[in-house]
Chains A and B, each alone.
Chain A
Amino acid sequence: QVQLVESGGGVVQSGRSLRLSCTASGFTFTSYVMHWVRQAPGKGLEWVAVISFDGTNKYYADSVKGRFTISRDNSKNTLYLQMNSLRAEDTAVYFCARDPRSPGWHKLDYWGQGSLVTVSS
Chain B
Amino acid sequence: QSALTQPASVSGSPGQSITIPCTGTSSDVGGYRYVSWYQQYPGKAPKLMIYDVSNQPSGVSNRFSGSKSGNTASLTISGLQAEDEADYYCSSYTSSSTVVFGGGTKLTVL
Contacts and interface: CB of A to CB of B under 8 A. Distances in A.
B93 A108 contact: no
A103 B97 contact: yes
Q: Is the interface of A mostly helix, strand, loop or mixed?
A: loop
Given A106-B34, A106-B51, A107-B52, A45 B45 contact: no
B57 interface: yes
Instruction: Give the interface size bracket for A toward B.
Output: 20 to 34
Given A61-B98, A106-B35, A114 B45 contact: yes
Nearest to A62: B1
Q: Which of B1, B47, B89, B102 has the most CB of A within 10 A?
A: B1
Contact of B99 (A35, A63, A111): A35
Contacts of B3: 44
Interface in A14-37: 35, 37
Nearest to A60: B98
Contacts of B36: 106-108
B109 interface: no
A111 B104 contact: no
A114 B44 CA distance: 9
A106 B91 contact: yes
Nearest to B46: A111
B64 interface: no
Interface in A79-121: 95, 101, 103-114
Contacts of B93: 103-106
Given A50-B98, A95-B46, 6 more contacts: A45-B101, A101-B34, A106-B36, A108-B91, A109-B57, A110-B48
9 residue pairs, one from A and one from B, having the closest CB atoms: A44-B104, A111-B45, A106-B34, A47-B99, A107-B51, A106-B93, A104-B34, A45-B101, A59-B97
